[in-house]
């Protein structure tokens, strides 16, 4: 009886607190923060240059150096790529053009390289730049950043689930500077998808976060489940132990009843 009362009290308390949370609105978004984001019609891409980082994959084109030509390498965790009979090159932190120039300088004593760009570095797999979609979606996690990813594109790919509060999706741009707060604004995905309102369909940048919160009832259900599960398991374990050791329970030792 005490267990039932405890659970009922916890359920009521949790529901009241979560409903209060939903009604008062504890999100930290600011409508003006959308001004920090770029809209698709304003620019072609959001990145001015691409900085190589692990685990990007590159391919080298250099017809005068057979050991290099058409060689494809994944940038290692230490930031380097290596080629047989030639050696290692630091690739992380450089643009493809900067890596080409660095390789050309290092190899000029070994080979006669002519022309403006005797070595060309091409990116074959963009893997190091990501944005994040988290919360109530079917396919959460980091997504490869292409430079043309919009909020609508990201949500269409990750697909909000039935527990999602699609009217209060948070778009977040974190700040590397601790003295500058992150930029956060809300998106009503229902208006965007069902009514064609794309006024808040901004382009994402590397590191941006889209958080899809649960509805009030969904959050209440998850919190209650999280609270009840260990208690239920504890009582189930006690019952199993008592049932196994009680000689008056069917089976007992030797399967006899006393």
β pairing state of 120-125 and 57-61: antiparallel
CA distance 187 to 212: 10
Asked if 11 and 224 touch (Cβ cutoff 8 Å), the reply is yes
pLDDT of residue 26: 58
Residue at token pair 């939903």: 22
Q: Please list, in sequence order, all residues whose beta carbon lies within 8 angstroms of the beta carbon of residue 110, skipping any fewer than 6 positions away.
A: 86
On whether the CB atoms of residues 143 and 67 are closer than 8 A, the answer is no
3-state secondary structure of 241: helix
Going from the C-alpha of 192 to that of each of 63, 177, 202, 210, the distances in angstroms are 50, 32, 12, 15
Cα→Cα distances 238→2, 231, 232, Å: 16, 11, 10
Q: Which conformational region is residue 135 in: left (phi greater than 0), alpha (psi within -120 to 50 degrees), or beta? A: left
pLDDT score of 258: 46
Query: In whole angstroms, what separates CA 137 from the centre of its chain?
Result: 11
Given a cut of 50, the residues of the chain with pLDDT beneath it are 4, 23-24, 251-255, 258
- Tens-digit pLDDT profile for residues 152-205: 999 999 999 999 999 999 999 999 888 999 999 999 999 999 999 999 999 999
Q: Give backbone dihedrals phi and psi of 208, rounded to 5 degrees, phi first.
A: -65, 155
Tokens of 103: 């390789």
DSSP reduced 3-state for 222: helix
């Amino acid at each position: 009886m005490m267990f039932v009362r405890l659970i009922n009290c916890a359920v009521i308390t949790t529901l009241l607190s979560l409903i209060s949370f939903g009604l008062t609105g504890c999100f930290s978004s600011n409508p003006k923060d959308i001004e920090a984001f770029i809209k698709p019609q304003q620019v072609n891409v959001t990145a001015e240059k691409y900085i190589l980082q692990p685990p990007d994959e590159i391919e080298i084109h250099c017809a005068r150096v057979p050991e290099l030509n058409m060689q494809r390498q994944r940038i290692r965790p230490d930031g380097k790529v290596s080629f047989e009979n030639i050696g290692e090159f630091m690739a992380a932190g450089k643009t493809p053009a900067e890596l080409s120039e660095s390789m050309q300088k290092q190899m000029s004593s070994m080979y006669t390289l002519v022309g403006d760009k005797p070595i060309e570095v091409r990116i074959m797999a963009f893997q190091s730049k990501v944005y994040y979609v988290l919360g109530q979606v079917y396919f959460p996690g980091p997504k490869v950043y292409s430079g043309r990813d919009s909020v609508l594109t990201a949500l269409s790919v990750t697909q909000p689930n039935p527990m999602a509060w699609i009217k209060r999706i948070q778009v977040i741009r974190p700040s590397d500077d601790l003295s500058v707060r992150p930029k956060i604004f809300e998106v009503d995905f229902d208006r965007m998808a069902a009514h064609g309102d794309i006024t808040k369909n901004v382009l994402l940048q590397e590191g941006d976060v889209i958080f899809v919160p649960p509805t009030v009832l969904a959050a209440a259900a998850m919190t209650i489940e999280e609270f009840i599960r260990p208690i239920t398991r504890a009582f189930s374990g006690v019952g199993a132990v008592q049932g196994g050791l009680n000689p008056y329970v069917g089976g007992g030792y030797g399967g006899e009843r006393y």
